[in-house]
Amino acid sequence: MSNPKPVPDFDLLRKQAKQIVRWHREGNYSVAVRIRAGLPRYAALDDAQILAADFRLAEAQALIAREFGFDSWATLKTGLKTMPEQVKWVAVPTITAAFPQLFVADIDAACAYYEETLGFATVFRHGQPAFYGQVKRDAARLNLRYVDRPLFDPALRDKEMLLSAYLPVENVKSLFLEFKDKGAGFRETLKEQPWGAQYFIVRDPDGNLICFASHDT
């Protein structure tokens, strides 16, 4: 057993396991990602295959146990009985990341652009055809949501430079040159602020404005 992280009340975990089963039964693509990441027998399956599988409560319980660092539901239950009360709850909520959501007309095309032009990797795509996805590069992740019409006034967004995401970067000049070589479209090319910080803004094929900036901005 690995070192377990703090866990909530056991009755709450039982309810969570039943909820995972319901989500699976309802065809929730997000729970498919969680199942694939947590249970080895699903690791090679895609979302549709996972949602079509015979997924039982025992597997949902095993998933929760593994997510908390226990080998099985039984060891989780036993561990809770012997665990000091002060480590059963996370005392202070902590925000660990932020994933901006970009609205796009074609998930597959958006993923291809972020992969081929901006050097991101696709984390997942949900649906057939895809309606949701995520791309990542280093510590940054961008969620992509399909929409069938523009949600913003394109002229206003461009005029007012309404950003969809702001990504701090180490060595921002090198990243700008990388994107330039790959033919990225820019709303703003590399600029230096009076106090020495640098930034540039990419305009993706859907008009989303992504700012890449040195940490001093």
Same domain assignment for residues 55 and 158 = no
185 within some domain: yes
Please, where are the H alpha helices in 57-153?
57-67, 73-82, 107-116
pLDDT of residue 89: 46
Instruction: Decide the pairing of beta strands 140-146 and 101-104.
Output: parallel
For residue 122, tell me if it sits in a domain: yes
- 129, 207: one domain: yes
Its pTM stands at 0.66
β-pair type (165-169, 209-214): parallel
Within this chain, do residues 138 and 183 fall inside the same structural domain, yes or no? yes
Q: Taking the chain (217 residues) in consecutive chunks of 10 residues, what is each chunk's mean pLDDT? A: 55 90 90 92 92 94 90 84 52 72 97 97 91 94 94 90 94 95 96 82 96 78
- Range of 23's domain? 10-87
Residue 92 falls inside a structural domain: no
Q: What pLDDT is recorded for position 88?
A: 47
| Backbone phi, psi, residue 168, to 5° | -65, 145
Are 216 and 168 spatial neighbours (Cβ–Cβ below 8 Å)?
no
Q: Give the Cα separation of 26 and 65 in Å (integer).
A: 22
* Residue 205 belongs to a domain: yes
Helix/strand/coil for 202: strand
